[in-house]
A = this chain, B = another copy of it.
Amino acid sequence: MAAEPVPIDDPADPRIASFVSIRERDLTGRDGLFIAEGTVVLRMLGGVSTRKNGFAAEAILLLENRLAGIADVLASFPETVPVYVASAAVFDAIAGFNMHRGVLALGRKPPPERGAALLGRLPETSLVLAGCGLSNHDNVGAIFRNAAAFGADAVFLDETSCDPLYRKAIRVSVGSVLSVPFSRGSGAEVMLAGLAEAGFEIWGLSPRGAVPVAEIPAARRIALVLGTEGEGLPESILSSFHTARIPQRPGLDSLNVATASGIALYQIALAMGRVA
Interface residues of A (CB under 8 A from B): 40, 142, 145-146, 148-151, 174, 212, 214, 246-249, 252-256, 258-260, 262-263, 266, 269-270, 274-276
Given A270-B214, A275-B247, residue A146 in contact with residue B253 (CB < 8 A): no
- Distance A26 CA – B275 CA, assembled complex (angstroms): 42
- Does the CB pair B266–A145 fall under 8 Å? no
Given A40-B253, A142-B256, residue A149 in contact with residue B262 (CB < 8 A): no
Q: How many copies does the complex hold?
A: 2
**Can you list 14 pairs linking A and B with CB atoms under 8 Å apart?**
A145-B255, A145-B259, A146-B255, A148-B249, A149-B249, A149-B252, A149-B254, A150-B249, A151-B248, A212-B276, A214-B270, A247-B276, A248-B275, A258-B259
- Distance A156 CA – B262 CA, assembled complex (angstroms): 24
Picked from B256, B263, B275, the residue with its CB within 8 Å of the CB of A266 is B263
Given A247-B276, A259-B259, residue A252 in contact with residue B146 (CB < 8 A): no
The residues of B that contact A266 with a CB separation of less than 8 Å are 246-248, 263
Q: A248-B269, A262-B262 provided; 20 other pairs, C-beta below 8 A?
A: A142-B259, A145-B255, A146-B259, A148-B249, A149-B248, A149-B249, A149-B252, A149-B254, A150-B248, A151-B249, A212-B276, A214-B270, A246-B266, A247-B270, A247-B276, A248-B266, A248-B275, A259-B262, A260-B262, A263-B266
Output the nearest chain B residue to A262 by Cβ-Cβ distance.
B259
- Distance A266 CA – B259 CA, assembled complex (angstroms): 11
The residues of B that contact A246 with a CB separation of less than 8 Å are 266
Output the nearest chain B residue to A270 by Cβ-Cβ distance.
B247
- Distance A212 CA – B145 CA, assembled complex (angstroms): 20
